[in-house]
Amino acid sequence: MSSRPKPVTPDLANLARGVCAGERAVIARAITLVESRRTDHQKAARRLVQELLPATGRAVRVGITGVPGVGKSTTIDALGTFLTAQGRKVAVLAVDPSSARTGGSILADKTRMPRLANDSNAFVRPSPSSGTLGGVAAKTRESMLICEAAGYDVVLVETIGTGQSETMVADMTDFFLVLMLPGAGDELQGLKKGVVEIADMIAINKADGDNLKRATAAAAEYRAALHILNPRSPTWSPPVVTYSALKGDGIAALWDGVLDHRERTTQSGELAARRREQQVKWMWAMLEDRVFARLRSDSSLKAKLPRIEAAVAEGRMTPALAVEEIAAALGV
């Protein structure tokens, strides 16, 4: 009778060396370790990220979101290629909380970003949700640190542009870029105030050919909309720019805006303050994820939950008392 093979313990020293040497296969393995839901892998991942921490923090972190069909992947492909041509190393992390089972499609990401996928100075990686948006945030942050330790000096984090994912990505990046389409009349109606309030720049894509006039008009509408909102930084008023990801027009100006923002927030101390705040939010997000993981894995607690839920649903127990019983079972 054959015995089950013992789980292989990751060689953290070799992983750390390979990541710092920029070995792409090792970087991929390190991120896979971070994304694993196995308890021993999670412990190893925490130790690995802690070891890599001194080599992190120097990259420009840019979050990118936008309405469906706006051309996020085409924009990232154009921007990333522009940056690698300047000698920069670019990592792309695609956050897709809608794909809890597969964690997104690596093939699809690489198909949509053909130039970056074949660029030796770029690294494209989807980030799985692990079933929760908090899981996305935790895993993507750790993946970002691994990429920084590997020498990538620009990290682009793409979100699908729906739900709470924008806030999560804004809370882990230095600069939050919101992409929009020409035709401000319709888009302005669907513009979520919360997203605009956290935007560091609004960029109107597809500003070419017959769309050029509509893009210019849309930019004017968005500028007017931004005037009634309070910017989140006292030293930065979010600009509205137009560009064409397909033709590459305006990509350089877009990146200049990112660098201008970085210089101003660095000088004012806002960048350092924002990153400190993000670290604390990361801690709480991971703690919440650990608590929910306990709820999912503790067999005795899982057995109690249906009874508690039924009691709340039928009005026999208040939600507050139910929470108290669950918290007591968790020992918190």
Amino acid at position 181, single letter: L
Q: How many angstroms separate the CA atoms of 172 and 166, rounded?
A: 10
* Those residues with Cβ within 8 angstroms of residue 78's Cβ, 6 or more apart along the chain or in another chain: 245, 246, 248, 251
Q: How many angstroms separate the CA atoms of 225 and 228, rounded?
A: 6
Higher pLDDT, 93 or 4: 93
Task: Report the pLDDT value the prediction gives residue 187, as an integer from 0 to 100.
Answer: 52
* Those residues with Cβ within 8 angstroms of residue 36's Cβ, 6 or more apart along the chain or in another chain: 42, 45
Task: Report the pLDDT value the prediction gives residue 136, as an integer from 0 to 100.
Answer: 61
Task: Report the pLDDT value the prediction gives residue 104, as an integer from 0 to 100.
Answer: 44
Q: Which two tokens stand for residue 235?
A: 């030293």
Q: How many angstroms separate the CA atoms of 213 and 287, rounded?
A: 49
Residue 218 binned pLDDT confidence (cut-offs 50, 70, 90): confident
Task: Report the pLDDT value the prediction gives residue 1, as an integer from 0 to 100.
Answer: 45
Q: In the chain, where does the domain assigned CATH 3.40.50.300 lie?
A: 56-268
Higher pLDDT, 206 or 225: 206
* Those residues with Cβ within 8 angstroms of residue 74's Cβ, 6 or more apart along the chain or in another chain: 112, 205, 245, 246
* pLDDT tops 90 at residue 92: yes
Higher pLDDT, 208 or 104: 208
* pLDDT tops 80 at residue 128: no
Task: Report the pLDDT value the prediction gives residue 127, as an integer from 0 to 100.
Answer: 64
* Those residues with Cβ within 8 angstroms of residue 320's Cβ, 6 or more apart along the chain or in another chain: none
Amino acid at position 88, single letter: R
* pLDDT tops 50 at residue 99: no
Collapse the DSSP code of 129 into the 3-class scheme (helix H, G, I; strand E, B; otherwise coil) and give the result.
coil
Residue 165 binned pLDDT confidence (cut-offs 50, 70, 90): confident
Higher pLDDT, 244 or 94: 244
State pTM to two decimals: 0.86
* pLDDT tops 50 at residue 105: no
Higher pLDDT, 183 or 92: 92
Taking CA atoms, 214 is separated from 173, 186, 206, 208, 221, in Å, by 30, 12, 10, 10, 10
Higher pLDDT, 312 or 232: 312
Higher pLDDT, 13 or 103: 13
Task: Report the pLDDT value the prediction gives residue 133, as an integer from 0 to 100.
Answer: 53
Nearest-CA neighbor of 275 among 32, 13, 61? 61
* pLDDT tops 50 at residue 332: yes
Residue 102 binned pLDDT confidence (cut-offs 50, 70, 90): very low
Winning range, highest mean pLDDT, from 38-47, 120-129, 162-171, 246-255 = 246-255
Q: What is the mean pLDDT of residues 45-53?
A: 95
Task: Report the pLDDT value the prediction gives residue 22, as an integer from 0 to 100.
Answer: 96
Collapse the DSSP code of 56 into the 3-class scheme (helix H, G, I; strand E, B; otherwise coil) and give the result.
coil
Q: What is the DSSP string of 155-205?
A: EEEEE-SSTTHHHHHHTT-SEEEEEE-S-HHHHHHH--HHHHHH-SEEEE-
Bridge partners of 203?
Answer: 179, 241
User: 71-75, 233-237, 240-244, 285-289 — which is least confidently predicted?
Assistant: 285-289
Taking CA atoms, 290 is separated from 10, 77, 119, 299, 331, in Å, by 22, 35, 37, 15, 13
**Percent helix, percent strand, percent coil in the chain, to nearest 5:** 60, 10, 30
User: 45-59, 60-74, 183-197, 234-248 — which is least confidently predicted?
Assistant: 183-197
User: 25-34, 207-216, 263-272, 315-324 — which is least confidently predicted?
Assistant: 207-216
Strands of 60-66's sheet, edge to edge? Answer: 122-127, 90-95, 154-159, 60-66, 175-180, 201-204, 240-242
Question: For the chain, first and last CA: distance in Å?
Answer: 44
Q: Are strands 154-159 and 90-95 parallel, antiparallel or unpaired?
A: parallel
Task: Report the pLDDT value the prediction gives residue 290, as an integer from 0 to 100.
Answer: 79
Q: How many angstroms separate the CA atoms of 184 and 213, rounded?
A: 11
Task: Report the pLDDT value the prediction gives residue 238, as an integer from 0 to 100.
Answer: 92
Mean per-residue pLDDT over the chain, rounded: 85
* pLDDT tops 80 at residue 6: no
Is domain 56-268 in CATH 3.40.50.300, yes or no?
yes
